[in-house]
Amino acid sequence: MDGIRANVARIRDEIAAAAESSGRTAEAITLVAVSKTVEPIRIQAAIEAGIRHLGENRVQEAQEKVPLIHGPVTWHMVGHLQRNKAGQAVELFDMIQSVDSKRLAEALSRRALQADRIVDVLVEVNVGGEASKIGISPEETESLIEDIKDLPGISVRGLMTIPPYDPNPEKVRPYFRRMHELFQRLKDKTPTPMVHLSMGMSSDFAVAIEEGATMVRVGTAIFGARDQ
């Protein structure tokens, strides 16, 4: 488990350096450790190394793991969410980062009201226009925000994206820059101004921070290669 502690420390250092280069502090960046397929004992080691935000991709896997994890943790849903899983998602997660339709937002709103809670959500944007990925187009993002910003039970807190993958993070930089421009233009369109721009993963989070990310989702760089 010492490897996880060392990985977390290294990533914190890289976050601090990237934040400084963009005129911010490390405290302005939220690190979400993506624990998809990671067993609870290793997740617990990450918490002991200082991780306070965990991300899961599937509701079913989260249902099995969340009760086994102890500590002051905020849970994020970072994968595709089907409407029929909205109830379980509201019970499990503090933030849902993958809202990509009015119908999903309405389902979350209904379930949150039934649970008597308010769930933070991010609108997922398919910034690269990839057919293989979910998310709303940049051009339709403002319209979706307008449609869902006043729904009870949810609070639209920002945007999330998964840009096209490239082993060279510099080639991904233009997508991050476009997302930051979109975020800056839309952040005051909600009753409570949006504050989160979730972008950047293990291979490119430093570049994402340099281009304005406030939240990064890092899995492999913390836990190692996933078992498929």
Q: pLDDT tens digits, the chain, 228 residues: what are they?
A: 779 999 999 999 999 999 999 999 999 999 999 999 999 999 999 999 999 999 999 999 999 999 999 999 999 999 999 999 999 999 999 999 999 999 999 999 999 999 999 999 999 999 999 999 999 999 999 999 999 999 999 999 999 999 999 999 999 999 999 999 999 999 999 999 999 999 999 999 999 999 999 999 999 999 998 765
Radius of gyration for the alpha carbons in the chain, expressed in angstroms and rounded: 17
Rounded to the nearest 10 degrees, what angle do helices 138-148 and 173-186 cross at?
30
Residue 141 C-beta-side C-alpha neighbours within 13 Å = 28
| CB contact at 8 A, 1 and 195 | no
Q: Where are the domains of the chain?
A: 38-197
CATH superfamily of 38-197: Alanine racemase (3.20.20.10)
Question: Reduced to 3 states, what is the DSSP secondary structure of residue 201?
Answer: coil
Residue 187 buriedness (CB in 10 A; 0-12 / 13-18 / 19+): middle
User: What residues form DSSP beta bridges with 159?
Assistant: 123, 197
DSSP state of 37: T
Residue 61 buriedness (CB in 10 A; 0-12 / 13-18 / 19+): middle
24 phi and psi, to 5 degrees? -125, 180
Residue 167 CA, chain-centre distance (Å), reads 21
